[in-house]
Structure 1
Amino acid sequence: MSQTLSEKQFYAGLQHLPKPRYPFPDFIHPDFQQQRQEYYDWIDREYTFHSEAARKKHKQHNLVDIAARGCPFLNTLAELRPLANYTANGAMMDDYFDRCSHHEMQMVTNRIKNILSGEDISEPADMGIFHQFWVLRQDAIKCVPDRHYRKYISAIHNVFVGYTEERTYYRTNTTPPLPVYLVIRLHTSGGLPYCKYVAMQKNYRELPDDVLEHPHILRLHDLCSWMIGMHNDFISLPKELHREGDTMNLVKVIQHEHNIPLHEAYMEALKIHDSYLDEFRLLHQHLPSFGELQGTVHDYVQDLGIMVAGVYAWHVNDVSRYVNGGYVEGEYASKKS
């Protein structure tokens, strides 16, 4: 992306369009500053394969704040770490491998799966992305019950499967059809691991799988993940308009499918987002009967909404990642395949 764009050229009038609005309160974990410091430390320690400029930008992004805002009711910093690690390391990994091939991303995905599942128990000798996922597992198995951990890493795996499938469109600079976009973005938004991790808060970890895996609850998870992906698309759209290959964006998908002006496509995309928010609220109001757990489930769904609003609050408060010249360009030297 050009670093010489004027602010007017960069934003293309998009900053004046309506933004998503969520009817949920905003919180942040009390240990967010300490988590930030740990984040700065492991960027310096683990990410030495990145350029100094990339490391500096990543520190400014404060990616761990997404976790602190998304799950603000976790009891301890120890419980926050596995979510903060996935969030920041996953985002920086996605940046680093920005233009790798489908096959290369598949290899990365498989290695991460083996590390998180414990199939590969050896500590990676190379510092960085894979070592951090090994650290994530070590931290998580100390405080996350096994059934919740398995749901969490399964959702993380699907995020990376989504990253892999994105590469097909990135490498050819093509937009996917809307149904394909929705399948991929459901996972690449990164929201589903958050939905699983919300159960670590308060007394929700005691909810049985009959509740957490109920089709009604799983639909709410999907809606959360799509809303996160879409509001990220709105925030990142100015940046993605000026980078070849950034085609996995709802606005760009709609603009291409309907051959309509950018601002009109944006408003159509916002309608889709808002329809998902309306559905979320309706499903929250009409939960199935969960007996004596009804109140707990109602509160759990409320905290899913707070999670979505918290992730969006990071986007709104961020003044470093999606601004003109703020993005970290991929530094991985991909093979042409």
Structure 2
Amino acid sequence: MKKTIHIPKPSYPWPTIKSPISETFYEEECNWYDTDYLFMNPESLKKYKKQRIVQVGAFMSPTTVDRDQLRPIGRFAVYITTFDDYVELMPLEELKIFRDRIFEVMTNQDPDPEEKGILRQMAAARKEWLASGMPQFWIDRISTNFYKFITYGIMEETPFKFNKTYPSLARFLMIRAYSIGMITYGDLIDPATGFALPEYIYNHPVIQRLVMLLSNIIAIQNDFASIRKELTIESERFNIIFILQHEYKISFEEACVEGIRIHDEFVKEMESLSICLPDFSPYQKEVENYIYHMKLMITGCNSWYYEGGTQRYNSDGFALTPNGQAPTVIDFDIKHVSQK
């Protein structure tokens, strides 16, 4: 009989809101795969259709009930996730070229017909946001943050994965905050609420720290939710449980406890900052609403992992491993359990 390892589920002092339209985009999502993602492995596309990635948009923006307002958010959830999988072990020089082209398309250019279809998805989202009234300065912001997601996240991870080495914990937390994609995904709060934070507010150190906390919290949340999958990928290094095991020379179970402790400290800091904000007049209410939706992103994402019905993190539900090899077999079971 296999040993069962219990993995704690993160918990939060904030509400979880259920979207009334979370089940409405599956047909469109499948159509996106069939038209704009044909450059990817066909077997991976079959599995993406079972992962319900588009649902992330509704879970993390649960107060957005207009389908037209939510559609580009769902597009973004799909293209950032599939892009991350696709380029995980791409040579850096090739990735730089792709990164620069993505920035052009996300800001103002249309892709050529022969280019990868994922660029058409990015252009479609940009046009939908502009049509909904989002300003160009916000388009530039989300494009710049996507560029940073690639540059300071994915590209910083790649050497460790190629060399099969571990970063230090401090370096990991810095890289992972970018590579999880949540700094740029957090920009979706603006179109979800219909208000673009002015640049001087978005760049305030308190808001920037909250953005980083949002990303760190969801990064650790993701590491716990995806641990079953990542244990089967031989090249995987960027999971806080693995990092803690390596740096502190502790057991898997002890690393889980320490990972949750670090996560909970980030949660406490976010709550402490959110109850003592600077004066952002005349936009104080809008800033408070922005931070409220940050918290809804965190609880909504956590809910999606365990209640959304995704097969992304099941043993047979995720796309092919980056090196194209079959997943490694693990000789124990994993059960996610709520914290008391």
Instruction: Please name the residue that 2:328 is paired with.
Output: none
1:272 correspondence with 2:223? no
* 2:224 partner amino acid: F
The structure-2 alpha-carbon separation of the partners of 1:209 and 1:255, relative to structure 1 and needing over 3 Å to count, comes to same
Query: By how many angstroms is 1:213 displaced?
Result: 2.2
**Matching residue within 120, 138, 146 for 1:148:** 138
Aligned to 1:172: 163
User: Per-residue displacement from partner, 1:28-66 (whole Å, max 9, x unpaired)?
Assistant: 444433322211111112222334432221011111111
User: 1:11-33 CA distances to partner (integer Å, 9 max, x unpaired)?
Assistant: x633x232200222223444433
Give a deviation string over 1:119-155, Cα, whole Å, max 9, x none.
Answer: x444342452233223232323222221222211111
Pick one of 120, 133, 152 that aligns with 2:122.
Answer: 133
Identity of aligned residues (%): 28
| 3-state secondary structure, aligned to 1:17 | strand
Structure 2 residue 91 is matched with structure 1 residue 101: yes
Distance 2:63 2:131 in 1: 18
The equivalent position to 1:183 in structure 2, one of 171, 174, 177, is 174
Equivalent-residue separation in structure 2 for 1:253 and 1:227 (angstroms):
16
Which residue does the alignment assign to 2:24?
A: 34
- Counterpart in the other structure of 2:329: none
Aligned length: 321
- TM-aligned CA deviation for residue 303 of structure 1: 1.4
Which stretch of the first structure deviates more once superposed, 45-54 or 84-93?
Answer: 45-54
Contact map agreement 2:79 2:118 (CA 8 A) in 1 = yes
Alpha-carbon distance in 2 for matches of 1:146, 1:296: 19
Higher strand share goes to which structure?
Answer: 2
Partners of 1:221 and 1:315 in 2: CA distance: 21
Work out whether 1:90 is the aligned partner of 2:85: no
* 1:315 has 2:305 as partner: yes
Establish whether residue 23 from structure 1 lines up as the match of residue 13 from structure 2. Answer: yes
- Deviation, 1:69, is 1.2
**Conservation of the 8 A alpha-carbon contact between 2:89 and 2:158:** yes
C-alpha contact (below 8 Å) 1:198/1:304 kept by paired residues? yes
> SS of the residue aligned with 2:191?
coil
Q: Counterparts in 2 of 1:23-62, with a 5 A limit?
A: 23-62=13-52
Q: Tell me, yes or no, if the aligned pair for 2:168 and 2:247 is still in contact at 8 Å.
A: yes
Q: Which residue of 2 aligns with 1:3?
A: none
Give the letter for the 2:221 counterpart. Answer: H
1:194-248 CA distance string (max 9 Å, x none): 322212243543x433322221111111100111111101111122122111101
C-alpha displacement of 1:165: 1.8
Partner amino acid for 1:192? Answer: I
Deviations 1:253-288 (A, max 9, x none): 111111111111111111111000000011111111
CA–CA distance in structure 2, aligned partners of residues 332 and 259 of structure 1: 28
Alpha-carbon RMSD across the aligned residues, in angstroms, is 2.2
Distance 1:132 1:222 in 2: 27
Q: 1:59 to 1:181 in 2, by over 3 A?
A: same
Amino acid aligned to 1:260: I
Show the counterpart of 2:333. Answer: none
Which structure has the highest helix share of the two? Answer: 1
SS at structure 1 position matched to 2:314: coil
Opposite residue 241 of structure 1, the aligned amino acid is L
In the alignment, structure 2 segments of 5+ residues that lack a partner are 325-340
Tell me how far apart the structure 1 counterparts of residues 193 and 102 of structure 2 sit (CA, whole Å): 29
Amino acid in structure 2 at the alignment position of 1:167: T
- Secondary structure, in 3 states, of the residue corresponding to 2:9? coil
Partner of 1:198: 189
Deviation at 1:97, TM superposition (A): 2.8
Superimposed CA distance per residue, residues 272-330 of structure 1 (whole angstroms, 9 cap, x where no aligned partner)? 11000000011111111234533332232111101111111111224411111222015
Which deviates the most, 71-80 or 306-315?
A: 71-80
CA distance in 1, matches of 2:289, 2:220: 24
State how far apart, in whole Å, the 1-side matches of 2:322 and 2:230 are.
17
Give the AA of the match of 1:103: E
Higher relative contact order (CA 8 A, sep 6+): 2
After TM superposition, what 4+ stretches of structure 1 lie above 6 angstroms from structure 2? none
Q: Which residue of 2 aligns with 1:300?
A: 290
Alignment equivalent of 1:245, drawn from 212, 219, 235: 235
Task: Check whether the contact 1:239–1:323 (CA below 8 A) recurs between aligned residues.
Answer: yes
Gaps of 5+ in 1: 1-5
CA distance 1:61–1:319, shift in 2 (3 Å): closer
Q: Deviations over 1:58-79 (max 9, x none)?
A: 0111111111111123363232
Which amino acid in 2 is paired with 1:131?
A: R
| 1:141 to 1:295, Cα distance in 2 relative to 1, 3 A | closer
1: CA distance, partners of 2:105 / 2:283: 35
Write the distance in 1 (CA, Å) between the matches of 2:11 and 2:206.
23
Alpha-carbon spacing, 1:232–1:186, altered in 2? closer, same or farther (3 Å): same
Determine the C-alpha separation between the residues in 1 that align with 2:323 and 2:8: 36
Q: Aligned equivalents of 1:163 and 1:56: distance in 2?
A: 24
